[in-house]
Structure 1
Amino acid sequence: MNNFLFAAAENDAIANCKAGGMGDVVRDVPRQIAEKGDKVNVIVPSYGRLHQKGKFITTLSFELRGFEYTAELYEVEPKKILKNIYHYVIHHPEIEAGGIAHIYHDDPEEPFFTDAIKYFIFCTAVAEAVKQNAFGKLDIIHLHDWHSSLLLFLREYHLDYEILKKIRFVYSIHNLAIQGIRPFNDNYSSVKNWFPNVRYDEERLLDYRYPDCINLMAVGIRFADAVHTVSPSYKEDVMKPSSPPEFIGGEGLEKDLQLANEENRLFGILNGCNYKNINAEEKGHIYRNTVKALFRWLQEESKKYKADFLAHTGEKIMKYVGNRPKFIVSSVARLTEQKFYFFKRSPEAFVEILKKLEKVDGIFMLLGTGAPEYEDLFREMSYNHKNFIFTNGQSESLIDSMYLESDLYFMPSLFEPCGISQMLSMRNGNPCLVHHTGGLIDTVKHMKTGFGFDGDTYDKKIENMLSTFDVALDIFANDKSTWKKIQTSAKRVRFTWEKSVDKYYEVLYKV
């Protein structure tokens, strides 16, 4: 039996520990490993709350900032108890919940200041737990994004944790744009402040743009035994320099990624999707679930600032309760530059889409929260366009209904390491219209399982987005047999974790 440790910032196998797709991966991959008969330990920070009903395992003592720090290791109960999987959290008072999903902090003036502190503590506590044999003898440690990459710094340079050198380390990149950059010196949230007695080589750790800083994403890429991107096409993208907004690639780390590839350490393996025990909503509940979510949010103190808008959305949706539109386009995503840059920069293109929908008695449903400037844009558009339903909140039942009942799922991501929304929509037999980038190239085949657009320039991308939308509308209205064929092909395609994890064993884990 092989023994694995997954270290990450998120784990959706336990309640209230997910902000994005990383949480899904850290939930699903261990399940597949456990099905093979191997043992998996999964560890995340407690964020001051996740340990509260957990079982205390041990106290962990280690040195940081020249002082003795003490953290606590707890085993916690997952949403679903499965054989061979054990879930843990690290509790320390300085590992606090942030404002983003009660996980991450947003420090506008000094990016990563607070998060770096809590993940410095978390990673050192995990290293100490490994040293104390808290998880048994480990064969593989699988790290996810910059939040856990400090374990590789400790393996390379910290004399107390040389035990880590005996273990194979795998590093998965989920979001290359967020790199965890902090100063080496002269800052409370700096490497020197937290590890004053560790001798390290700045040249091997530095950020190319800010050479007085460590780049923790780069640490993962430079020091891991295997580096993993979450789709094959994204692997190709990240080895090229970014040229925004037309192309988002290696984000300054393309040379490190090229070197990892030359050293046969870089692998692109597509994320999987869950096809078992799906929480399915009943058909026909999409508007009811919208109204239920709106009434719930209207009662929340934190939503009072947008109560008028929520009421406005409720009034709009009531029109469709007994009068279903002929065509529903939907989108579910965090409102960020990555997901909706095209609409923010070219709102007239989005208006054009709404006009095209109006002609066929169609609506566009968008659900999400995120950056204030994106929320403001979509709220304003909702006031101005009667067939745009913007649900400015989060509701699992409504999301399930949207995936189930949409006619076309729209995903115009500027870049996409893998993407899960398109898989969830296709799972229900709904074609997707996507920007052909990263994992969307690997999952949506134009005119076969959905529709894809691209272009050599920004203007060409926008032009092609609109013309591809016209193609989709035309097929839906005038060529039902082709539409049915695309729907059936979308539903049949399978992106299984079983297939992905088999590949993990072959090239990442080498066991």
Structure 2
Amino acid sequence: MSAQPAIRVLFASSEVFPLIKTGGLADVSYALPKALHALGLDVRVLLPAYSSVKAQLSWVKTDIKIPLFSFLHQAPATILEARLPDSDVPLYLLDCPMLYQREGGPYQDGMGNDWADNALRFGLLSKAAALFGEHQFDFKPDIIHCNDWQTGLTPAYLHYSPRSQAKTLISLHNVAYQGVFGSEVMGLLELPPASFGMYGLEYYGLVSFLKAGIYYSNWITTVSPTYALEIQTPTFGYGLAGLLAGRKQQLTGILNGIDDHWNPHTDPYLAQNYDFSDQLKQDKFANKKALCDRVGLSAEINTPLIGLIGRLTYQKGIDLILPVLDQILAEKVQVVLLGSGDKGMEQQLQALASRYPQQLRVTLGYDESLAHQIEAGADLFLMPSRFEPCGLNQLYSMRYGTLPIVRHTGGLADTVTDVTPCHLDAGSANGFVFAEETPEALLQTVRRALVLYRCPELWHTLQRHGMQRDLTWTGRAAEYLSLYQQVKGDDFSGSSI
């Protein structure tokens, strides 16, 4: 028997680490294609040719032309060809200077305002992916793997195309972000009027890119099994719970993994590389000292240090921390925080840092090297999210021997197992979990963690449980491969709701 040809996958995303990143989507869009490639799939990534991305890569022009929306009256967009950094994965860059060649981020300008033409920018990205799905170019994918609202129109374009050849799968990284625009964009996106209805793109009189992806795709994934259940409820579904519940037979939760960039044994940002050994406490302290030196604290080997990295938003539960941060600091701990977001939260944290200069350091913004150093230097990592589709920092923390404190939701519930007698006996306890959305529940859990911090043998055991767990993308990629095989052979062709 001859070998089966490798499944061909076009992985379409609006951001890819390390080229451009605003959140976990970028990490997944880099690591998962690499892991799929290692399993033998012919996987290629499609990304807009933002100014900053083009400046970082060596690329060549191809003869692939993507027609713009007709009203623009411009020359076609073109595809540039490159490689994902440090990999053999081909990278297609959708080059359209009038839409992507500008200063600022992928979604917002330098002032934090959404680009006014985001519907066109990501409508074109979706359209380009769909043209690959029509097998109009040399690379003829079996599966178009879409990601979040920015590629959500791809399944709709293919649904209404008589030349559609590829199946579609959309991954939902955060249902709260849906790409909702005024109905006037329907005349610009070149989708048929029939698509604008309850059974299609229409969302309370507006256009939802994410709803389009969910409704028209062959399959839906999200980034943890618990989140796959949560988004079928009104609390977490953000207006799409009914549609998601109606498609639950084609909805799968697959946890994210972490890339080898997050490995304390090889991490170039660390003062001392390490793994799980009898020297772990000393190695961790070397990193704690380097972190404290960097942020201006005095490191003490027996003083617990709590890290926090993330957006300062309601979703991340920062408002649960603020009312009890004085009480946490009264426990003789140090806290190092890296993040940005809500200006009021930023100001409150900076005011607290001024009151506790020997215990609290707040760095606004994002710094990749500091993020790695916090994970390595901290003893505990605080992540009290109100909802968390998967979460990556709790996974990084476990790999770095830093015990996470999390709320029981989404991927946090699926990856962090609370320290209880039965979980200790089973060898599965690897962190601290609370359920209630209250500052008091958070404070109680922090205090519980600090009691165990002063039990070195037990602490070492908990670190081992996390550090020796397989958190890599290898197993996750195998789950996606199995799903691709199922979707490729399935006759299902979109929502039947």
Aligning the two structures, in what range does the TM-score lie when normalised by the shorter sequence?
0.7 to 0.9
In structure 2, the residue matched to 1:295 is: none
Structure 1 position 200 matched with structure 2 position 204: no
Match of 1:437 among 393, 406, 409: 409
- What amino acid is aligned across from residue 225 of structure 1 in structure 2? N
- The Cα of 1:418 is off from its aligned counterpart by 0.2
In structure 2, the residue matched to 1:465 is: 442
- The Cα of 1:509 is off from its aligned counterpart by 4.3
- What amino acid is aligned across from residue 428 of structure 1 in structure 2? Y
- The Cα of 1:204 is off from its aligned counterpart by 2.0
In structure 2, the residue matched to 1:180 is: 179
Match of 2:45 among 42, 46, 51: 42
- The Cα of 1:98 is off from its aligned counterpart by 7.3
Match of 1:221 among 193, 214, 217: 214
- Where do 1:281-360 residues align within 5 Å? 281-283=270-272, 284-286=286-288, 288=290, 317=296, 319-320=297-298, 326-343=303-320, 347-356=322-331, 358=332
In structure 2, the residue matched to 1:236 is: 229
Q: Structure 2 CA distance, aligned partners of 1:109 and 1:22?
A: 19
- The Cα of 1:351 is off from its aligned counterpart by 2.1
* Distance change (3 Å), C-alpha of 1:43 and 1:49: same
In structure 2, the residue matched to 1:274 is: 259
* Distance change (3 Å), C-alpha of 1:286 and 1:475: closer
Q: Work out whether residues 105 and 114 of structure 1, in 8 Å CA contact, stay in contact via their aligned partners in 2.
A: no
- Where do 1:451-490 residues align within 5 Å? 451-455=432-436, 458=437, 461-477=438-454, 479-490=455-466
Q: Structure 2 CA distance, aligned partners of 1:149 and 1:37?
A: 27
In structure 2, the residue matched to 1:256 is: 243
Q: Work out whether residues 353 and 466 of structure 1, in 8 Å CA contact, stay in contact via their aligned partners in 2.
A: yes
Match of 1:409 among 362, 371, 381: 381
Structure 1 position 385 matched with structure 2 position 356: yes
Q: Structure 1 CA distance, aligned partners of 2:405 and 2:219?
A: 33
- What amino acid is aligned across from residue 337 of structure 1 in structure 2? Y
Give unpaired runs (5+ residues) of structure 1.
Answer: 243-248, 293-313
Q: What SS does the aligned partner of 1:205 have?
A: coil
In structure 2, the residue matched to 1:421 is: 393
> 1:250-279 deviations in whole A, cap 9, x for unaligned?
111100110110xx2101111112357742
Q: What SS does the aligned partner of 2:329 have?
A: helix
Q: Structure 2 CA distance, aligned partners of 1:446 and 1:409?
A: 14
Q: Work out whether residues 232 and 241 of structure 2, in 8 Å CA contact, stay in contact via their aligned partners in 1.
A: yes
Q: Structure 2 CA distance, aligned partners of 1:207 and 1:328?
A: 49
* Distance change (3 Å), C-alpha of 1:201 and 1:370: closer
Q: Work out whether residues 417 and 439 of structure 1, in 8 Å CA contact, stay in contact via their aligned partners in 2.
A: yes
- The Cα of 1:50 is off from its aligned counterpart by 2.3
- What amino acid is aligned across from residue 502 of structure 1 in structure 2? A
- The Cα of 1:407 is off from its aligned counterpart by 0.8
- The Cα of 1:116 is off from its aligned counterpart by 1.6
Q: Work out whether residues 168 and 509 of structure 1, in 8 Å CA contact, stay in contact via their aligned partners in 2.
A: no
Q: Structure 1 CA distance, aligned partners of 2:110 and 2:218?
A: 32
> 1:276-309 deviations in whole A, cap 9, x for unaligned?
77424123355656766xxxxxxxxxxxxxxxxx
* Distance change (3 Å), C-alpha of 1:437 and 1:98: farther
Percent of aligned pairs sharing the same letter: 25
Q: Work out whether residues 232 and 270 of structure 1, in 8 Å CA contact, stay in contact via their aligned partners in 2.
A: yes
Q: Work out whether residues 287 and 376 of structure 2, in 8 Å CA contact, stay in contact via their aligned partners in 1.
A: no
Q: What SS does the aligned partner of 2:21 have?
A: coil
Q: Structure 1 CA distance, aligned partners of 2:114 and 2:197?
A: 20
> 1:89-120 deviations in whole A, cap 9, x for unaligned?
111123236777x2121699996743222111
In structure 2, the residue matched to 1:495 is: 471
Q: Work out whether residues 112 and 180 of structure 1, in 8 Å CA contact, stay in contact via their aligned partners in 2.
A: no
- What amino acid is aligned across from residue 336 of structure 1 in structure 2? T
> 1:465-484 deviations in whole A, cap 9, x for unaligned?
1111111111112x322222
Q: TM-score, normalised by structure 2?
A: 0.84
In structure 1, the residue matched to 2:278 is: none
Q: Structure 1 CA distance, aligned partners of 2:457 and 2:92?
A: 51
In structure 2, the residue matched to 1:20 is: 23
Q: Structure 1 CA distance, aligned partners of 2:292 and 2:341?
A: 19
Moved more, 211-220 or 129-138: 129-138
Moved more, 368-377 or 58-67: 58-67
- What amino acid is aligned across from residue 223 of structure 1 in structure 2? Y
* Distance change (3 Å), C-alpha of 1:327 and 1:97: farther
* Distance change (3 Å), C-alpha of 1:412 and 1:25: same
Match of 1:506 among 467, 482, 491: 482
Q: What SS does the aligned partner of 1:171 have?
A: strand
Q: What SS does the aligned partner of 2:374 have?
A: helix
Q: Structure 1 CA distance, aligned partners of 2:224 and 2:403?
A: 20
For the aligned residue pairs, the C-alpha RMSD in angstroms reads 2.6
- Where do 1:33-112 residues align within 5 Å? 33-52=36-55, 53-69=58-74, 70-82=76-88, 85-96=89-100, 102-105=105-108
- What amino acid is aligned across from residue 173 of structure 2 in structure 1? H
Q: What SS does the aligned partner of 2:100 have?
A: coil
> 1:393-447 deviations in whole A, cap 9, x for unaligned?
3222222121112111111111100000000110012211101110000110000
Q: What SS does the aligned partner of 1:446 have?
A: coil
In structure 1, the residue matched to 2:275 is: none
- The Cα of 1:341 is off from its aligned counterpart by 3.8
Q: What SS does the aligned partner of 2:334 have?
A: strand
Q: What SS does the aligned partner of 1:493 have?
A: coil
> 1:26-68 deviations in whole A, cap 9, x for unaligned?
1111112111212111011012342354211125242514455
- Where do 1:155-194 residues align within 5 Å? 155-157=158-160, 161-164=161-164, 166-185=165-184, 190-194=185-189
Q: What SS does the aligned partner of 1:335 have?
A: coil
Q: Work out whether residues 107 and 114 of structure 2, in 8 Å CA contact, stay in contact via their aligned partners in 1.
A: no
Q: Structure 2 CA distance, aligned partners of 1:451 and 1:250?
A: 26
Q: Work out whether residues 366 and 389 of structure 1, in 8 Å CA contact, stay in contact via their aligned partners in 2.
A: yes
Q: What SS does the aligned partner of 2:475 have?
A: helix
Number of aligned residue pairs = 452
- What amino acid is aligned across from residue 225 of structure 2 in structure 1? P
Q: What SS does the aligned partner of 1:433 have?
A: strand
Q: What SS does the aligned partner of 1:391 have?
A: strand
Q: What SS does the aligned partner of 2:195 have?
A: coil
- What amino acid is aligned across from residue 181 of structure 1 in structure 2? V
* Distance change (3 Å), C-alpha of 1:17 and 1:204: same
- The Cα of 1:347 is off from its aligned counterpart by 2.4
* Distance change (3 Å), C-alpha of 1:127 and 1:236: closer
Q: Work out whether residues 34 and 87 of structure 2, in 8 Å CA contact, stay in contact via their aligned partners in 1.
A: no
- The Cα of 1:174 is off from its aligned counterpart by 0.4
Q: Work out whether residues 289 and 377 of structure 2, in 8 Å CA contact, stay in contact via their aligned partners in 1.
A: no
Q: What SS does the aligned partner of 2:346 have?
A: helix
Q: Work out whether residues 202 and 214 of structure 1, in 8 Å CA contact, stay in contact via their aligned partners in 2.
A: no
Q: Structure 2 CA distance, aligned partners of 1:363 and 1:431?
A: 15
